[in-house]
Amino acid sequence: MGRVGGVKHGESGGGGGGGGEAGEVVGFVCGTCSQGEELSHESMHLHDPNGQTLCIHSVVVAEKFRRRGYATEMLKAYVENVALTQPGVRRVCLIAKAGLLGMYASCGFTLKGLSPVVHGKDPWFEMRIDLDSSEPRLLRFVQVDAFSDRKFCGNPAAVFFTQAGGDADWMQKVAVEMNISETCFLELQPATPDEASSMGPTYALRWFTPGGEVDLCGHATLAAAFALWEEGRVGPGLPIRFSTASGVLTCRRDAEGWVAMDFPSEVVSDALPEDDEGRRAIVQALGLASAGGGGEGEEGDGVLFVGRNRCDVMVEVTPEAFSAIAPDMRMLAAIESRGFIVTCKGQQLKKAGEEGISAAVDGVTDGGSVEFQSRFFAPRMGIDEDPVTGSAHCCLAPYWASKLGRCMVGYQASPRGGTVRTTVGLKSEGDGRVVLEGKAVLVFRGLFRR
């Protein structure tokens, strides 16, 4: 299947208006890709999804909209979109009769000469835009605040719609430049029309922090799915599958805007004994050495559990100790762990605007309660405190479900704050999965020069 772009009446990208209903299709552009640099009958006959040459076959405008500049503006927008979103395409070519050379030249095409393609009596001329010789590629990206429906709350993530051919060094540099907790990169994967319509599209997804690539990131997964729906790259009712280092992750959105993500759960180890040196170092680094009335260097009764999962350390404390957390980032960074989860049983939340709560909590009545609270610190990954951590809830959900039930609402009590609804799978549904739900909001769009 080739690349198709179109314009509807009332959208930008066309010439004069009037004469049609809003949303009516004005026209479309159709093209196919090939590996060769020259156009021939053979190269134009088949579409190669990995081809570096894009051949324009058709620029079609409905009869009643002709001679209004739609064709010119539509083709310009089509080529611009290819340059922005398809880094593998190096050139755009077409063949045209003499009478249309001026129109195509106004769209940026240059004449290469007579085409070897023979079709009818009139000669055809080949025209081309070399994208590599133009300005450096501008890559479209968006920034999304995840696990909140309010801007400047939740956890921000940048979403790029390319993986630049798998260039991990480039993706890491972009993540450093963006300088937020997570930047993610998407690449649409081949699928048959039946697969795409029944199961939704599949995108390869990779996550990078300023400190390195990670195997799983919940809030950036939510942001990626939200961006694909919000930018119109995926139909609003379709699920999205992500192929990742942690397996295939599926996202769906309900009518209220909650995005559900099906993730693998993380098992917490048995508690580390109180005389364990590693446990003592963790408790001291989190500023909990005297929590709950213990003496100097002792953890006291405010620390209820210290354990590990595959990636992180998890510490349960009393609500009183939770409110007194005072982490030493240098001490935490010296401990071998991706991050540190500190959690306590839920309690009544302060109302929006009160100290400690940046905004009303999604899905919770203002001043109401949640089942559990948490904070997450990851200085070894370049993140002192993460605003809202989806992957940490893959551990928190099963941990608290064993005490409180399988369906819960958690609040991550960072300065920005954010809400995560969790559901742990029943044994009859298969162990090892947890559904995380959150909302999101698009904060801004941008162009990144590559």
Average pLDDT, the chain: 85
Residue among 219, 243, 245, 246 nearest 432 (CA): 246
Task: Quote the DSSP letter at residue 132.
Answer: G
Do residues 118 and 23 both lie within one domain?
yes
Do residues 216 and 127 both lie within one domain?
no
According to the model, what pLDDT value does residue 301 have? 80
**pLDDT of 288 higher than 60:** yes
Top-ranked range on mean pLDDT: pick from 19-23, 113-117, 124-128, 428-432: 124-128
According to the model, what pLDDT value does residue 237 have? 86
Domain count, the chain: 3
According to the model, what pLDDT value does residue 236 have? 86
In a domain, 450, yes or no: no
Task: Quote the DSSP letter at residue 167.
Answer: -
In a domain, 446, yes or no: no
Do residues 256 and 302 both lie within one domain?
no
**pLDDT of 297 higher than 90:** no
pTM over 0.75: no
Task: Quote the DSSP letter at residue 272.
Answer: P
Do residues 148 and 128 both lie within one domain?
no
In a domain, 271, yes or no: no
Q: Is the dihedral of CA 413, 415, 421, 425 positive or negative?
A: negative
Gyration radius (Cα) of the chain, Å: 27
C-beta separation of 190 from 173 below 8 A: no
C-beta separation of 148 from 418 below 8 A: yes
Q: Is the dihedral of CA 193, 197, 199, 203 positive or negative?
A: positive
Tokens of 351: 């109302």
Which of 12 and 418 is assigned the larger pLDDT?
A: 418
DSSP assignments along 318-349, one per residue: -HHHHTT----HHHHHTSSSSEEEEEEE--BP
Question: What confidence category does residue 24 fall into, taking pLDDT thresholds of 50, 70 and 90?
Answer: confident
According to the model, what pLDDT value does residue 348 have? 65
Do residues 70 and 121 both lie within one domain?
yes
Strand, helix or coil for residue 351:
coil
Tokens of 300: 């006291």
Question: What confidence category does residue 7 fall into, taking pLDDT thresholds of 50, 70 and 90?
Answer: very low
What range defines the domain where residue 167 resides?
138-264
- Per-residue pLDDT of 196-226, as tens digits, reads 667 789 999 999 999 899 999 999 999 999 9
**pLDDT of 292 higher than 70:** no
C-beta separation of 153 from 184 below 8 A: no
In a domain, 174, yes or no: yes
Residue among 147, 165, 164 nearest 156 (CA): 147
Residue among 227, 274, 228, 221 nearest 248 (CA): 221
Do residues 314 and 379 both lie within one domain?
yes
The helix-helix angle for 390-404 and 218-230 (nearest 10°) equals: 110
Mean local confidence (pLDDT), 251-259 = 97
**pLDDT of 294 higher than 80:** no
CATH number of the domain that residue 61 is part of: 3.40.630.30
In a domain, 199, yes or no: yes
Strands ordered across the beta sheet of 110-114: 3-8, 25-34, 53-61, 91-96, 125-130, 110-114
Do residues 332 and 409 both lie within one domain?
yes
Query: How many C-beta neighbours within 10 Å does residue 19 have?
Result: 11
Mean local confidence (pLDDT), 267-288 = 91
Question: For 22-45, b where at least 16 C-beta lie within 10 A, e where not — what string?
Answer: eeeebbbbbbbbbeeeebeeebbe
Tokens of 375: 């904070």
Do residues 176 and 70 both lie within one domain?
no
Task: Tell me the residue type at 311.
Answer: C
List the catalytic residues: 182
Residue among 391, 401, 403, 388 nearest 431 (CA): 401
**Which element (helix H / strand E) includes 196?**
helix 193-199
Mean local confidence (pLDDT), 28-37 = 88
Tokens of 408: 């819960």
Do residues 288 and 421 both lie within one domain?
yes
- The angle formed by the CA atoms of residues 193, 3 and 63, to the nearest 5 degrees, is 110
CATH number of the domain that residue 151 is part of: 3.10.310.10
Q: How far is CA 369 from CA 362, 366, 379, 398, in A?
A: 12, 9, 30, 19
- Per-residue pLDDT of 308-324, as tens digits, reads 999 999 999 999 999 99
DSSP assignments along 360-397, one per residue: PPTTS-TT-B-SEEEEEEEGGGTEEEES--HHHHHHHH
Query: How many C-beta neighbours within 10 Å does residue 137 have?
Result: 18
In a domain, 168, yes or no: yes
Do residues 295 and 419 both lie within one domain?
yes
**pLDDT of 169 higher than 60:** yes
In a domain, 427, yes or no: yes
- Per-residue pLDDT of 380-430, as tens digits, reads 988 899 999 999 999 999 999 999 999 999 999 999 999 999 999 864 455
Do residues 32 and 57 both lie within one domain?
yes
Do residues 296 and 425 both lie within one domain?
yes
